[in-house]
Amino acid sequence: MNYYNDKRIWITGASSGIGKALAEILVTQGARLVLTARRKNLLEEIRTAAPETAEVSILDADLADIDALPEVCRKAWDEYSGLDIIIMNAGVSQRSLFRDMDFETGRNLFDINFFTHTKIMHELLPRLEAQGHGRIAAVTSLSGHIPSPLRIYYSSAKHALHGFYETLAAETWTSGIRVSMIIPGFVRTNISYNAVDGEGRAFGKLDPLQKSGADPSSAAKKILNKLERGKREIYVGYTTNAAVARFLGRVAPGLLLRILRNMKEV
Ligand SMILES: NC(=O)c1ccc[n+]([C@@H]2O[C@H](COP(=O)([O-])OP(=O)(O)OC[C@H]3O[C@@H](n4cnc5c(N)ncnc54)[C@H](OP(=O)(O)O)[C@@H]3O)[C@@H](O)[C@H]2O)c1
């Protein structure tokens, strides 16, 4: 029996990229899925392409609408009377220097990339604890470990996510909750297209680092494999650039900063 068979799994940001690739694999493994994103038509396409026996529930929602999250969480939880795994994947990146950012755009980036996570945890953690088990898998980023020019609010929110989920992991261990962080380097998705500029407009380009990133399906396979093994941190998409940046961030942060100082473009 495969590990994901019958598991009740909520994937946020399932309409494209990493979330979609995870959903496409999980529908073939007998998981019972709730898929969330704003673009309902893309979620429907995943359901249509799934094997006939697959259980796929579509819960379209704007997860940046924090006030709406209690109801969204209730629906996600009630669909299969509980959740075994919550994959917190929805996110929006940024391509703009801080000096060109307006505050509101930055705050919106913080909402979807950080406060959406904490609000969903406020709603679902008590239910998970009452249930006595549950795995939370949060997609953060290499940008949450190192400084990331042109992505200052995104990077700050991802840094905050590391602090949040590491602390949550410590606080909830004895109640049977397990927390994993998925930390992508570069995966070839539409993340740079969907990233926002300083005024909140879509950046609309596939940038070179993204283009050379890992294939989303291979990344998703690796993620699911490591999640099954209960890994606390899961690294995917470590192209040469990403691997070097991660390494320098750990062992020579001063050198990494000197390199990043000259980074004017993506
Ligand atoms: N690709 C990479 O190299 C990379 C690197 C580091 C971290 N990551 C992280 O990986 C995660 C997935 O990104 P991706 O690369 O797969 O990019 P993507 O293709 O742009 O996917 C982002 C997903 O988030 C959803 N989303 C965004 N805003 C939302 C909102 N307000 N409400 C509901 N859903 C929303 C999008 O759906 P809708 O637009 O349909 O709402 C989409 O399904 C993100 O957290 C990202 O930060 C990716």
CATH code for the structural domain at 8-261? 3.40.50.720
Task: Report which residue type is found at 89.
Answer: N
Q: What is the pLDDT of residues 177-215, one digit of tens each?
A: 999 999 999 999 999 999 999 999 999 998 888 889 999
Q: Are 210 and 188 in contact (CB under 8 A)?
A: yes
What is the distance in A from the centroid of ligand 1 to the CA of 255? Answer: 30
- Give the tens place of pLDDT for each residue, 76-97: 999 999 999 999 999 999 999 9
DSSP state of 202: B
pLDDT for 264 beyond 80: no
CA 182 to ligand 1 centroid distance, Å? 13
Sheet with strand 134-139: strands edge to edge: 55-58, 32-36, 8-12, 85-88, 134-139, 177-184, 233-236
CA distance 162 to 88: 13
Residues 28, 52 contacting (CB under 8 angstroms)? no
Name which of 34, 116, 27, 46 is nearest 82 in CA terms. 34
In whole angstroms, give the CA distance from residue 206 to residue 152: 19
Contact at 8 Å (CB) between 222 and 21? no
Atom 23 of ligand 1 has which residue's CA nearest to it? 13
Determine what percent of the chain is predicted with pLDDT higher than 70: 98
Residues 9/83, Cβ–Cβ less than 8 Å: yes
Q: Is the CB of 144 under 6 A from ligand 1?
A: no
Please name the residue ranges forming H helices in the chain: 17-26, 40-49, 69-79, 103-110, 116-131, 152-172, 191-194, 208-211, 216-228, 240-251, 253-261
Please name the residue whose Cα sits nearest to atom 34 of ligand 1.
37
Please indicate whether residue 189, judged by its CB atom, sits closer than 6 Å to ligand 1.
yes
Q: Ligand 1 pocket, 38 CB below 6 A? A: yes
Exposed e or buried b per residue across 252-265, where buried means at least 16 C-beta atoms within 10 angstroms of its C-beta = eeeebeeeeeeeee
Please determine, for residue 266, whether its predicted confidence score (pLDDT) is greater than 70: no
Span 118-170, pLDDT tens digits:
999 999 999 999 999 999 999 999 999 999 999 999 999 999 999 999 999 99
Parallel, antiparallel, or unpaired for β 85-88 and 55-58?
A: unpaired
Is 154 among the residues known to form the active site? Answer: yes
Ligand 1 in reach of 16 Cβ (< 6 A): yes
Looking at residue 97, its amino acid is L
Distance 161 CA to ligand 1 centre (A): 15
Which sequence spans correspond to the domains of the chain?
8-261
Q: Which two tokens stand for residue 14?
A: 């399932």
Q: What is the distance in angstroms between the CA of the first residue and the CA of the last residue of the chain?
A: 44
